[in-house]
Amino acid sequence: MATRREFVKSIPAVGTAFAVGGRLVLDDSSAQAQGAGAPLAGHFHPKGKAPSEFTLNVLRQAHGELPFGDTRDFEEQKKGLIAPMQDLKITADAGHVAWDMERFQFLDKQDEFDSIHPSLLRQSKLNNNYGLYEVIPGIYQVRGFDLSDITFIRGKTGWIVFDPLVSKEVVRAAWKLFQQHVGQGLPVSAVIYSHTHGDHWGGVRGIVDEADVRSGKVPIIAPVDFMEFTVSENVYAGNAMNRRLFYQYGLLLPASPHGYAGQGLGQAVSAGATTLIAPTRSVEKPVEEFEVDGVTMIFQNTPNTEAPREMNTYIPDMKALWMAENVTATLHNIYTLRGAQVRDPLGWSKYIGEALYRFGLEAEVMFASHHWPRWGNARIQEVLRGQRDLYAHMNNQVLHFANQGVTINEIHNVYEMPKGLQDKWFCRGYHGSAQHNSRGVVQRYLGFWDCNPTTLIPLSPSDSAPLYVEMMGGADKIMTRGQQLHDEGKYLLASEIVNKLVQAQPQNQAAKDLLADIFEQIGYQQENPGLRNSFLAAAYELRSGIPQGETATASPDVIRAMSTELFLNFLGIRMDSRKAEGMRFTINLITPDKGEKFIIELENATLTNIKGFLASKPDLTLMINRSDLELTMTGTKSLEAQIADGTAKVEGDASILKQLASTMVDFDPRFEIMPGTKAGGVVAKEDPYEADERQPIAE
């Protein structure tokens, strides 16, 4: 049995939060075996339970309905294997383990597990393959080194790299394996970032020297506005998103039959150093054709699909179609459980349709940034058509129901994918699920309100729960009935009433333990890893509390990618406006090296900024080069120190900066989600003007 301390080693940098790239270090004090029910021997948690007969039935029935006769994914996954990776662990430069496939070996030891949905297990077995593959002569992939795949395409002078993973150490290891077998010692001649998510660029420094990019020797190509959208998607709500990742990605759960069983897109997110080098060439037009190291490529921009900025690429001479993350072996997220703006399924479907008719009618191989390639035009068309219809159906049929009055609180129980799509493995929900995506579509078009005034401005759960508990006859009655419902396998009903008790009595450990048992069974029953992890993560925190932690440092590359405006906007979010009542001032900020100017105003307990303007009578003018400001943003040198040594110049009332600093708050990523799980603790103090940015989120 793994200890909680061991779990922590599996936490990727991307999921931790309080300084960027920090990794939690847990203490072992709060996990104590106690409470009712029979704990399961071999379960990672002392309070963990075996799957019930009801759960076993659900999984058995699912098994019978799944298209196990279709084994093409397994053939496609292993096709072209050149060399498996021998080292199951890859060490980070900082000394910890950046990548660990050893912990997933249990998945291959049995054909079935009674606590893992058979469809999820199948996907995780496919993702357990780890090595170098030939896609076609001239195109190679290293798969299983991270959540995503890295691809190498033969150019005239070297290798064109698509999507260099999350961290530089795993990219370096992938490059080494590639060079041992295929690379012929040729250098990287270009890099292409298919989209803005962190698992598609974070390892770039593992393979490219920035000097070669600056000199123009190695171009980096990306969709238009790449840098703007790379960081912006997860700055404003970054702390909340990182906290929610502990649920979606099950970051505290050990890899085990009763815990974490893979993430669907890949096994996990690597935990090495995240890096970023800005692109040198943008693809601006909807469709653009040019040569990259002698290879003709046709780029198709697909904004606001899987990512805010993304592009597919067709290589006509090889009849090879790169579908980025727009088409992979899963139903993708329309709504993302870690929190993100809801995506546009109709637009996404149309871009797939366009790719089908522009390139898909002649392509002979299709590959992507997750999972494995598809060979042969018939198979490519089958997958493109299925994925096109998957997103369109979800959009259309959900809105069809919404137009008949089905609400966001019902749609997941009403919406079903057509049988034809359910029978296609690549349309099943290993990242998105029909349940949470259908709710997302309603959210996109109609928002959170179901139009019943009871839910319009409701009481907070903790305020309404005591009345429920009183009216239900008190805690004992709820526990008895909750246990009964649990024992009858009616887990969702049981969670309704036991959750009320936990909301009313956060210190009632027996209630928390019962709710954990209920969540655990619901978790075991899920096909979708995000849903499974969310229920199992909540069970973990109800049983053990939220772990304590310390942090490491941020990724300077990522912080440098924040625009000055984004940084100032985020200061407005970090400010606790209750501390700013009565303050009023105007600051002119000038960054001479970038030629930027801003008016920053604090008025009405609100911090605003407007780019491109200077006030005629500011209380303070602050002049600092953007390159120096970055030292403050990364926490390397405080603004105070920059002013003291003359790097930053001020005119006017400099005490304003102290006032502003006094309103800034450091966000704590260990905030409570389930009641009564907060153990307390101290967060390392950050500089008031630090860009409290979290790691960009992989997807």
Interacting residues of 595 by C-beta distance below 8 A, sequence separation 6+ = none
How far the first Cα of the chain sits from its last, in Å, is 30
- Taking CB under 5 A as the binding criterion, the range among 1-9, 106-114, 144-152, 589-597 that sits at the site for Zn ion is 144-152
Closest to Zn ion by CB, 341 or 569: 341
Total residues at interface with Zn ion (CB under 5 A): 3
**Of these, 148, 256, 270, 326, which contacts Zn ion (CB under 5 A)?**
148
Q: Which CB sits closer to Zn ion, 148 or 239? A: 148
Q: Of the two residues 426 and 540, which places its CB atom closer to Zn ion in the complex?
A: 426
Residues 666-695 that bind Zn ion (CB under 5 A): none
| Strands ordered across the beta sheet of 585-591 | 606-611, 596-603, 585-591, 620-623, 649-652
- Helix H segments across 80-236? 118-126, 168-181, 210-214, 226-232
Is-contact 422 434, C-beta < 8 A? Answer: no
Of 140-148, 270-278, 442-450, 491-499, which segment contacts Zn ion by CB under 5 A? 140-148
Q: Based on CB atoms, which residue is closest to Zn ion, 126 or 587?
A: 126
Nearer to Zn ion, 251 or 624 (CB): 251
Pick from 244, 240, 268: nearest CA to 255: 268
Q: Give the helix, strand, coil percentages of the chain, each rounded to 5.
A: 40, 15, 45
Would the CA dihedral through 284, 161, 174, 134 be positive or negative? positive
Task: Give the torsion sign (CA, 514, 519, 520, 522).
Answer: positive
Candidates 77-85, 146-154, 425-433, 686-694: pick the segment binding Zn ion (CB under 5 A).
Answer: 146-154
Closest contact distance (angstroms) between CB of 63 and Zn ion is 29
Q: How far apart are CA 20 and CA 552, in angstroms?
A: 7
The stretch among 66-74, 196-204, 220-228, 348-356 that binds Zn ion (CB under 5 A) is 196-204
Q: How far is the CB of 202 from Zn ion (least distance, A)?
A: 11
The answer to whether the beta carbons of residues 545 and 678 sit under 8 Å apart is: yes
Q: Which residue is nearest to Zn ion (CB)?
A: 199
Q: Which stretch binds Zn ion (CB under 5 A): 148-156, 390-398, 460-468, 667-675?
A: 148-156
Q: Considering the complex, what minimum distance in angstroms separates the CB of residue 546 from Zn ion?
A: 28
Least distance (Å) from Zn ion to the CB of residue 371?
A: 10
Which residue lies nearer to Zn ion by CB, 18 or 430?
A: 430
- Residue 233 or 293 with smaller CB distance to Zn ion: 233
Q: Which amino acid is at 143?
A: R
To Zn ion, the closest distance from the beta carbon of 190 in angstroms equals 20
Bridge pairing between strands 365-367 and 374-375: antiparallel
List the interface residues with Zn ion, window 206-265 (CB under 5 A): none
CA nearest to 436, candidates 219, 688, 247, 168 = 247
Least Å distance, CB 693 to Zn ion, is: 20
Smallest distance from Zn ion to CB 163, Å: 8
In the bound complex, what is the minimum distance in angstroms from residue 19's beta carbon to Zn ion? 24
Q: Decide whether 169 or 325 has the Cβ nearer to Zn ion.
A: 325
| CA pair distance 571, 691, nearest whole angstrom | 8
Give the residue with the Cβ less far from Zn ion, 155 or 164. 164
**Which window, 194-202, 383-391, 510-518, 566-574, contacts Zn ion (CB under 5 A)?**
194-202
Number of Cβ within a 10 Å radius of residue 100: 18
Please state the closest distance from residue 323 (CB atom) to Zn ion, in A.
12
- Binding residue for Zn ion, selected from 73, 100, 169, 199, defined by CB under 5 A: 199
Q: Which stretch, 24-32, 142-150, 391-399, 462-470, contacts Zn ion (CB under 5 A)?
A: 142-150
Distance CA 478, CA 579 (A): 42
Q: Under 8 Å CB-to-CB from 68, ≥6 apart: which residues?
A: 122
| Residue position matching structure tokens 């999921």 | 15
Can you state the angle between helices 461-471 and 491-504, rounded to 10 degrees?
110
Binding residues for Zn ion restricted to 375-394, rule: CB under 5 A: none
21 φψ region: left (φ > 0), alpha (ψ -120 to 50), beta (else): left
Nearer to Zn ion, 24 or 698 (CB): 698
Buried b or exposed e, range 27-43, using 16+ CB within 10 angstroms: eeebbeeebeeeebeeb
Specify the residue, 202 or 254, whose C-beta has the smaller distance to Zn ion: 202
Distance of alpha carbon 494 from alpha carbon 481, whole angstroms = 8
Query: Cβ closer to Zn ion: 325 or 520?
Result: 325
Length of the chain in terms of residues written: 699
Stretch that binds Zn ion, among 198-206, 488-496, 584-592, 594-602 (CB under 5 A): 198-206
**191 or 602: CB nearest Zn ion:** 191
Task: Count, in order, helices (H) and strands (E) of the chain.
Answer: 23, 21
Question: Smallest Cα–Cα separation from 698: which of 166, 261, 193?
Answer: 166
One-letter amino acid identity for 80?
A: G
CB atoms within 10 A of CB 416: 13
Instruction: Determine the Cα–Cα distance for residues 420 and 379; give it in Å rounded to an integer.
Output: 15
Candidates 41-49, 197-205, 275-283, 672-680: pick the segment binding Zn ion (CB under 5 A). 197-205
CB of 269 to Zn ion, least distance (A): 10
Minimum distance of Zn ion from residue 364's CB (angstroms): 24
Only segment of 147-155, 375-383, 613-621, 636-644 that touches Zn ion (CB under 5 A):
147-155
| CB nearer to Zn ion: pick between 140 and 193 | 193
**What is the smallest separation between the CB atom of 199 and Zn ion, expressed in angstroms?**
4
- Nearest distance in Å: CB 327, Zn ion: 12
* Nearest distance from C-beta of residue 142 to Zn ion, angstroms: 15
Neighbours of 584 (CB within 10 A): 12
Site for Zn ion in 277-336 (CB under 5 A): 325
CB of 678 to Zn ion, least distance (A): 32
Grouping H, G, I as helix, E, B as strand and the rest as coil, residue 95 is: coil
Q: Which is nearer to Zn ion, 199 or 517 (CB)?
A: 199
Strands 649-652 and 620-623: antiparallel
- Residues within the interface to Zn ion (CB under 5 A): 148, 199, 325
